[in-house]
Amino acid sequence: MASKQRILLGLALSIIAVYVIIAIAAPLLTPYSPMTSCGPPLQSPGPDHLLGTDDLGRDIAAELVYGTRFALVIGFAGAAIAVTISATVGIALGYTGGRTDEVCSRIIDVMMAIPQFPLLLVLTLFFTPGLFLIALIMGVLAGIHGIRLIRSQVLSTSQAPFIEGVRGLGAGDGYIMRHHILPALGPLLSVKFVSTAQHFMVIGVGLGFLGLVDPNVTDWGQMISRATQYGGFSLGLWWWLVPPGIAITVISIALGVLGTRTEEANNPRLTLARM
């Protein structure tokens, strides 16, 4: 790996680490609550409020800090759910095969034909969800979509000679799935996890932007949306508008770099097969 890329990867990892720390240590970083008014509205940045206050008098810096939690939980928890679903169902179907596999694959085919994004919109609207519910909905939807890829990968792996050999030695199916097939899928799953997390953060903040997230949750999307509506442009309150956008952009790019590197590390001859 060229040293330039190594630096880039290090940078990406440290950015992700900083975000995680901010999310965990949010109450220590700001004296204000992101939900309660703590001064006159629309204040300019000053010593009391580093980024001023919004139209309801809430501290913008506090909202920004607490918003990290939303993005990270959506991204990482959602991706974890998605990858777990794809992996377990994909391995089970690909490994057992036969009639069950056929029927389930057909069902999945039909479900994949339903447009994900509108379905996500409708579901979020239906549940007016908070943080964890959104992560769950997104995770389940994307998890179903990922099954097919994992299944085909398992199909090719489980035909490998060494699996035959292990089976010949008397290993049980469960053992083989856990100890041989799952590790073989490791690289694919880790790539999938990182790219899904990135995608979910962007979409999750987007849901907030469209006003679909529970207003009692602090998230960058709602901040951007409020800022554009209540003076971000017309009054030129850029300190309200710009920080949340930068925040989501930076973490998204960091995850993008990490994703590309994970992909290349696992498959050096790779030509970036993405769509």
Partner 1 sequence: MYWNYLVKRLAISIITFFIAACIIFLLLRTMPGDFVSNLVLSFGNTLPQETVEAFYRANGLDRPLHAQLVTFFSGAFTFNTGTSFLYGVPAGGLIADRIGWTLLLLIPAAVFSLFIGVLLGVWSSWKQGSGTDSSLLAFMMAVRAIPSYWWGTMAILFFAFLIPFFPLGGYTSLTVLDSGLSIQDVLWHAALPVVVLTLVGIPGTYYLMRNSMIHTLQEDYILFARARGLPETRVVRHAFRCALLPVITMSALQIAGLIMGSVFVETVFSWPGVGLLTTEALQNRDLPVLEAIFLLDTVAIIVANLVVDLSYPLLDPRVKRYGE
CB-based burial, 135-164: b 16+ in 10 Å, e otherwise: bebbbebbbbbbbbebbebbeebbeeeebe
Smallest separation, CB 178 to partner 1 (Å): 32
Site pattern 128..167 for partner 1 (x: CB under 8 A) = ----------------------------------------
Q: Is 211 left (phi over 0), alpha (psi -120 to 50) or beta?
A: left
Contact residue for partner 1 among 150, 206, 217, 223 (CB under 8 A): 206
Q: Does 6 bind partner 1 (CB under 8 A)?
A: no
Binding segment toward partner 1, per CB under 8 A, in 41-49, 107-115, 133-141, 174-182: 107-115
Q: Does 231 bind partner 1 (CB under 8 A)?
A: no
Q: Do residues 231 and 55 touch, judged by C-beta distance below 8 A?
A: yes
How many CA atoms within 13 Å lie on the side-chain side of 211? Answer: 5
| Phi, psi (degrees; rounded to nearest 5) at 159 | -90, -5
Smallest separation, CB 8 to partner 1 (Å): 9
Nearest Cα neighbor of 32 from 6, 52, 8, 55 is 52
Q: Does 257 bind partner 1 (CB under 8 A)?
A: yes
Shorter beta-carbon distance to partner 1: residue 91 or 194: 194
Restricted to residues 165-184, the positions that interact with partner 1 (CB under 8 A) are none
Which whole-number Å values give the CA distances from 143 to 73, 111, 128, in the listed order?
16, 11, 21
Q: Which residues bind partner 1 (CB under 8 A)?
A: 110, 113-115, 117-119, 121-123, 125-126, 198, 202, 205-206, 209-212, 221, 224, 228, 233, 236, 238, 241-242, 245, 248-249, 252-253, 255-257, 260, 271-275
